[in-house]
């Protein structure tokens, strides 16, 4: 079955197809940041998201395709593996809904199901580190460095 992204400004396919429409993306909780920088002197900032994606099936094969998809998305090990490869986690789904669409003078069979996925983004932020601290006492003129044996330029 042909798969297209919703609202892509193309012509409607003549044969049965499924349309993918991202309806909502929401951050879940706060970020997670390890306390230490990694070996590349950067900090990993991880944020979890939940995304709601509507799958709409259209055409004469839409009923059977929607039913098969609805059944397999939450119970097929190969589906879970495909989601894992794309860094998606299956959370839950809505009921399968019949939603016939009027096209000119005829009705086209249509079904919708909403699937909720989770994913995590990782933003790497470079952390500049301090190598030496120089403190000069304004009264005495003494200079202190951290570390103590640091060379003052």
9: left (phi over 0), alpha (psi -120 to 50) or beta: left
Along the 153 residues of the chain, how does pLDDT read in single tens digits? 899 999 888 888 889 999 999 999 999 999 888 776 666 678 888 999 999 999 999 999 999 999 999 999 999 999 999 999 999 999 999 999 999 999 889 999 999 999 999 999 998 888 777 778 888 888 898 888 887 777 766
| Closest to 41 (Cα-Cα) out of 120, 148, 134, 131 | 131
Structure confidence at residue 58 (pLDDT): 96
What end-to-end distance do the CA atoms of the chain give, in Å? 69
pTM score? 0.77
């Amino acid at each position: 079955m042909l798969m297209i992204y919703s609202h892509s400004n193309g012509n409607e396919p003549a044969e049965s197809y499924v349309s993918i429409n991202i309806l909502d993306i929401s951050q879940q909780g706060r970020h997670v940041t390890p306390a230490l920088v990694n070996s590349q002197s950067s900090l990993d900032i991880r944020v979890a998201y939940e995304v709601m994606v509507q799958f709409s099936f259209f055409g004469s094969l839409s009923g059977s395709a929607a039913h098969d998809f609805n059944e397999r998305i939450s119970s097929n090990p190969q589906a879970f593996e495909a989601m894992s490869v794309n860094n998606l986690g299956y959370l839950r789904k809505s009921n399968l809904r019949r939603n016939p669409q009027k096209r000119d003078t005829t009705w086209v069979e249509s079904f919708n199901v909403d699937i909720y996925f989770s994913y995590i983004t990782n933003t790497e932020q470079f952390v500049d580190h301090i190598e030496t601290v120089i403190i000069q006492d304004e009264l005495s003129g003494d200079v202190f460095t951290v570390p103590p044996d640091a060379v003052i330029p």
